[in-house]
Structure 1
Amino acid sequence: MAVELYLDLLSQPCRSVLIFAKKNNIPHEVRNISLMDGEQYGDPFGKISLIRKVPALRDGDFTLTESPAILLYLAQKFQTPEHWYPADLQQRARIDEYLSWQHCAIRLHGSKVFWLKLMIPEVLHVEVPKEKMEAAVEELSGSLKLLEEKFLQDRPFIAGGHISLADLVAIVEVMQPVAAGLDVFGGRPKLNAWRDRVQAAIGKELFDEVHQNILGSQERVKVMDGSKLEFSKAKILNFFM
């Protein structure tokens, strides 16, 4: 039986889940949830996720939220190739370590750059102070440095010689500020080479397909209706500004 995946591909974690499901031929049905339209706050989705976040999964009567938990569930239920979450204790620990770290580091900082550089000025029409933007880019640079020096080191991938869940979760986060027009790969040859390896392991066609919407954000914001975000404007500005 196919699992149901509740997704919005503007969301980094949603992209990681969809790439994983498609790459591993996991039977699934996508249920699109528009975050811009506030569909996560509607009654139908509330029955799936009380925390009102995507991605979410439904497998029969079982529901699950949080992308790392969803990825681990899919990997183990569908017995995907071992390199995604190896049996080796130390390789698995490297993956767990990265998944535990990234939420308050590269995810937070990449998202902040995306909103401050693109969404807040272009959609919410609020001016972002120069010092706020510079501080956000500096925070992101610190996280990218840790990705290179602590998590990658001299390995091809985070857990060793093969792509894992950690790399998948990392790449979608790194691509988020790219979608806002920030070149995160310039001057970072190690990060650039890692990106190319991850993209090749996923498959360029699948990688491009899942990132198509987010990488078109700079054009999409020109016709985006900012009034749809009025319900959460204060919350967004409080969080990112």
Structure 2
Amino acid sequence: MGLKLYYDLMSQPSRVLYIFLKQCKIPFEEHKVVLKKGEHFMPKYEEINPFQKVPALEHNGFKLIESVAILRYLCREFKVDDHWYPISSKNQARVDEYLEWQHNNTRLHCATYFLVKFLIPMIKGKPARPENVTKCEGHMIECLDQLENIWLKNKLFLTGDKISIADIVGACEVEQPRMAGFDPREGRPQLTAWLERVAEETNPHYDEAHKYVNQIANNYLGIPPHSLSLLQCDRKSLQT
């Protein structure tokens, strides 16, 4: 049966796993779950993930539905370079430190801004409330500034001088608000250089995974969100 990845590249965690598997040359079957078609709500997929979200992994009948848990599992089960998730207890703890922090910071605030500014208005067919956008943007900016001034201070990557799974997780979340017209790189040279390093270390897979993000971001200005058909999916499509 081997390894199966259920994913949609519109999902940040899906992009993380896609990039990691490709970069580490771990063979897997690609099972695309198209969110805009509601395929994650189909009974067949509910058997894979009862929460009806992406991504999900199946390995010889063993199923996992949380992206961070999946990353750690892949690092244990397959032969990958040590820098991704170090064997050293202290170095591994540094990676875990960011992975735990990001749930209520990078992921929460970048994803919420994207939802409030772009996805919810597109679904409802009417503009977002400016006060809601401003509030969410403020939280996101504070988080991005923490990446710039704390996590990336005097470091090439989030946890040291070598790329780890934490960097792919962080980068994919930071890329998401670009689809809502926000440039996280502006005024943040450390963050900008870090994103470039992550892309350089993982290309061509990084660019492949972000093809829809780049397309929507490039077309966003001057186009009403509800006219962008790539994201015609339900709010319940939130990823894990």
Task: Determine if the TM-score, normalized by the shorter chain, exceeds 0.5.
Answer: yes
3-state SS of 1:91 partner: helix
Structure 2 distance, partners of 1:163, 1:225, is: 31
- The CA RMSD measured in Å over matched residues stands at 2.1
Task: Number of aligned residue pairs: give it.
Answer: 232
Q: More helix per residue: 1 or 2?
A: 1
Structure 1 stretch displaced more, 11-20 or 215-224: 215-224
| Pair 1:177-2:151 in alignment | no
1:133-163 CA deviation, whole Å, 9 max, x = no partner? 1111111011112222332221111121100
Structure 2 distance, partners of 1:124, 1:169, is: 29
Structure 2 distance, partners of 1:225, 1:191, is: 28
Q: Do the aligned residues in 2 keep the contact of 1:123 with 1:224 (CA within 8 Å)?
A: no
User: What is the letter of the counterpart of residue 137 of structure 1?
Assistant: E
Partner of 2:208: 209
User: What is the letter of the counterpart of residue 83 of structure 2?
Assistant: H
Superposition map of 1:34-183 within 5 A: 34-183=34-183
3-state SS of 1:76 partner: helix
Q: Do the aligned residues in 2 keep the contact of 1:109 with 1:143 (CA within 8 Å)?
A: yes
Identical positions, percent: 37
User: What is the letter of the counterpart of residue 101 of structure 1?
Assistant: W
Q: Cα distance, 1:111 vs. partner?
A: 1.2
Structure 1 stretch displaced more, 99-108 or 20-29: 99-108
Q: Cα distance, 1:126 vs. partner?
A: 2.5
Structure 2 distance, partners of 1:19, 1:2, is: 18
What are structure 1's unaligned runs of at least 5 residues?
Answer: none
Q: Cα distance, 1:45 vs. partner?
A: 0.7
Q: Cα distance, 1:38 vs. partner?
A: 2.1
1:150-198 CA deviation, whole Å, 9 max, x = no partner? 3222111112110001001000000000122211111011111111111
Structure 2 distance, partners of 1:45, 1:123, is: 23
Q: Relative to 1, partners in 2 of residues 1:15 and 1:225: Cα closer, same or farther, differing over 3 Å?
A: closer
Partner of 1:29: 29
3-state SS of 1:84 partner: coil
Structure 2 distance, partners of 1:107, 1:156, is: 21
**Looking at both structures, which has the greater relative contact order when contacts are Cα pairs under 8 Å and sequence separation is at least 6?**
2
Q: Do the aligned residues in 2 keep the contact of 1:92 with 1:159 (CA within 8 Å)?
A: no
**TM-score for both structures, normalised by structure 1:** 0.89
Structure 2 distance, partners of 1:154, 1:221, is: 41
| Pair 1:222-2:227 in alignment | yes
Partner of 2:222: none
Q: Cα distance, 1:119 vs. partner?
A: 2.2
Structure 2 distance, partners of 1:159, 1:89, is: 13
Q: Relative to 1, partners in 2 of residues 1:115 and 1:214: Cα closer, same or farther, differing over 3 Å?
A: same
Structure 2 distance, partners of 1:207, 1:10, is: 13
Q: Do the aligned residues in 2 keep the contact of 1:111 with 1:176 (CA within 8 Å)?
A: yes
User: What is the letter of the counterpart of residue 216 of structure 1?
Assistant: Q
User: What is the letter of the counterpart of residue 211 of structure 2?
Assistant: Q
Q: Do the aligned residues in 1 keep the contact of 2:178 with 2:213 (CA within 8 Å)?
A: no
